Amino acid sequence: MDFLKKLFGKSKDEPEELHLEFENLREWSKTRYEREANSVKPLISDIYSVVDNNLEQLRVDKKAFLAATPIESADKKMDKIGDSNRDVIVDNLDILDEKIIVPHDNSIEEAYTFYIESVSHMDTFLDNTRKACFMQKASIQLNITK
């Protein structure tokens, strides 16, 4: 029979029937989600460890930044402006260090929340640092024109 159908052509193909069992859909989607979420957890953990290492490096760099001394030939006013700017940056780094806390939960939801909050804190840090640098630049220009 199949030979005759191939030889003379098929009649209209009837679409395959599809049967969905909605009773099992919730269980299937929950199982699928858990499998995918569990596969992502090691990656999230790796990213958290990188972030934690970078935060620790920022703490070390902050201490080195505080220990820095100005050039001996620097003007006293410029020295004070630089110290003030350094103090503002260090204060902002302290705030950033307090606010960015790496979570221990490797869930996708927690990772997303951590990302959104961290980006917000880093944006605030950058804005405050830029403002401090602009104020320092303005102070330097005022001192030059005097």
Instruction: Tell me the H-state helices in the chain.
Output: 2-8, 25-67, 76-99, 108-145
Q: What is the DSSP letter of 15?
A: P
Number of domains in the chain: 1
Residue with tokens 């902050």: 62
| Residue 1 within any structural domain of the chain | no
Query: Has residue 111 got a pLDDT over 80?
Result: yes
Q: Count helices and strands (H / E) in the chain.
A: 4, 0
| Residue 93 within any structural domain of the chain | yes
Mean pLDDT of 115-133: 90
| Residue 5 within any structural domain of the chain | no
Query: Has residue 2 got a pLDDT over 70?
Result: no
| Residue 6 within any structural domain of the chain | no
Q: CB under 8 Å, gap of 24 or more: what pairs does 4-9 form?
A: none
In the chain, pLDDT over 70 holds for what percent of residues? Answer: 82
| Residue 102 within any structural domain of the chain | yes
| Residue 121 within any structural domain of the chain | yes
Structural domain for 79, as ranges: 25-145
Query: Has residue 4 got a pLDDT over 60?
Result: no
CA-based nearest residue to 139, from 66, 75, 65, 67: 75
Q: pTM of this prediction?
A: 0.67
| Residue 83 within any structural domain of the chain | yes
Mean pLDDT of 92-107: 91
- Chain-centre distance for alpha carbon 114: 7
At position 32, the amino acid (one-letter code) is R
| Residue 130 within any structural domain of the chain | yes
Mean pLDDT of 36-53: 93
Structure token pair of residue 4: 């005759």
Structure token pair of residue 86: 């350094």
Mean pLDDT for the chain?
83
